[in-house]
Amino acid sequence: MRKPIIVGNWKMNLDHLEATYCVQKLAWLLRDAHFDYSSCDVAVMPPFTSIRSVEVLVEADRLKIQYGAQTVSVTSQGAFTGDVSADMLAALGCKYVIVGHSERRKYHPEDDATLVDQVRAILAAGMQPILCVGESYDERKQGIELEYAVGQVNDITRDLSEEEAANMLVAYEPVWAIGTGMVATSKTAQDAAHAIRQHFATVFSAKVADSVRILYGGSVNSSNASQLMSQARDMDGFLVGGSSLDPEEFDKIVRLTQKAAKQR
């Protein structure tokens, strides 16, 4: 059985003071609701400058909330102005790093070769990559959305070992659904998650396919999380953008997702 996970991608929001408030409030809300972390993971992905504050809070209050980063350098150290290495993130207690988010692919020169190197750097530092894939509206119109998303997964993972592949998480985030309010239907999310899982079974093994957690991202909120989760059996949770910035809304999404996952 895969453990569901709800990840909040804060993008370029919440400075280190706001981050502390947000995580503390989320932790209190979940504690008051007797949230069972043993059956569901909860993680936040702050901007680099807020990670240390989250780490200090998590350690001081022994919180079970996990955290990670939104991207990483492909190199380990040296003259790379502005970059942050995987080892630096691991030293801050990061558990996950997002790779290939569509906003990174759009605004930065992150091609497939870069993404493969990022995945290797993250795994080598003992963290787990959350690989983002998903079609734009154009590919969907052409009816090639599944081939497109699975192709992106293949481009990044094909040279990994079985052990490395088993440590991946994949987030299916159709570009047209990100920040638009146009959430995918549960069938769309399930079809994509199923195709991605099948791909891992074909290229690696049934064991790898069974262990990779596949998330959906794109306009998830507390009004659509339950329905999405209860209908899409290959989906193991969400990568939430805007709705993760409000601790009360994120708390609702987390608890509704956990409940829906239990009831499937």
Interface positions with ligand 13P (CB under 6 A): 9, 101, 173, 178-179, 217-220, 239-243
Q: Which residue is nearest to ligand 13P (CB)?
A: 241
CB atoms within 10 A of CB 29: 17
Q: What sections of the chain are H helices per DSSP?
A: 16-32, 48-60, 86-91, 102-107, 112-124, 137-142, 145-157, 162-166, 186-203, 206-211, 225-231, 247-263
Looking at 101, 145, 164, 199, which residue is catalytic? 101
Q: How far is the CB of 18 from ligand 13P (least distance, A)?
A: 17
Q: How far is the CB of 132 from ligand 13P (least distance, A)?
A: 7
Looking at 135, 139, 173, 199, which residue is catalytic? 173
Q: How far is the CB of 68 from ligand 13P (least distance, A)?
A: 12
- Taking the least distance from each CB to ligand 13P, the nearer of 122 and 209 is 122
- Taking the least distance from each CB to ligand 13P, the nearer of 137 and 203 is 137
- Taking the least distance from each CB to ligand 13P, the nearer of 53 and 244 is 244
172: Cβ–Cβ under 8 A, 6 or more apart, which residues?
133, 134, 149, 189, 192, 193, 196, 214, 215, 216, 217
- Taking the least distance from each CB to ligand 13P, the nearer of 101 and 140 is 101
Give the 3-state secondary structure of residue 178: coil
101 a catalytic residue: yes
Q: Taking a C-beta distance cutoff of 8 angstroms, is the pair 185, 208 a contact?
A: no
149: Cβ–Cβ under 8 A, 6 or more apart, which residues?
133, 134, 135, 172, 174, 192, 195, 196
Q: How far is the CB of 141 from ligand 13P (least distance, A)?
A: 20
Please identify every residue annotated as catalytic: 101, 173
